Amino acid sequence: MHKLLSVTEARQQFLALAATFEHTPGVVEVTKRGKPVMVILPIRAYESLQEMAEITLDRPLLASIRRGLDDARRGRVRALRTVRKQLRI
């Protein structure tokens, strides 16, 4: 669901939007005088965005993720069962 509502419409539908987000994830773009001023989104989407922002600001973690993706692209991977065997898990 992606809705575009004016501030007035958003105010009128606020409680209904909260109920809708419980069942149907989506985004509501709120406008004032036809210009976007804010976005309303479910808490899970917000938390995901926060987590992504934290990851992108953590340079060592981001570098590690990039190395891992590069290893996967180049085929430098091992099967989970092989790793478990080596670690005796």
27 and 38 part of one domain: yes
Backbone region of residue 33 per phi and psi (left: phi > 0; alpha: psi in -120 to 50; beta: other values) = left
Please say if the pLDDT value at position 1 is more than 90: no
Q: Cα dist. 82→23, 44, 75, 87 in Å?
A: 41, 35, 15, 9
Please say if the pLDDT value at position 63 is more than 90: yes
Cα Rg of the chain, angstroms: 21
Domain span at 15? 2-42
According to DSSP H, which parts of the chain are helical? 7-23, 43-57, 59-73, 80-87
Which pLDDT band holds residue 33 (cuts at 50, 70, 90)?
very high
In eight-state DSSP terms, residue 34 is T
Q: What is the pLDDT of residue 69?
A: 95
61 and 50 part of one domain: yes
34 and 55 part of one domain: no
26 and 50 part of one domain: no
pTM: 0.62
Looking at residues 24-53, what average pLDDT do you find? Answer: 93
Nearest to 14 by CA among 25, 37, 30, 36: 30
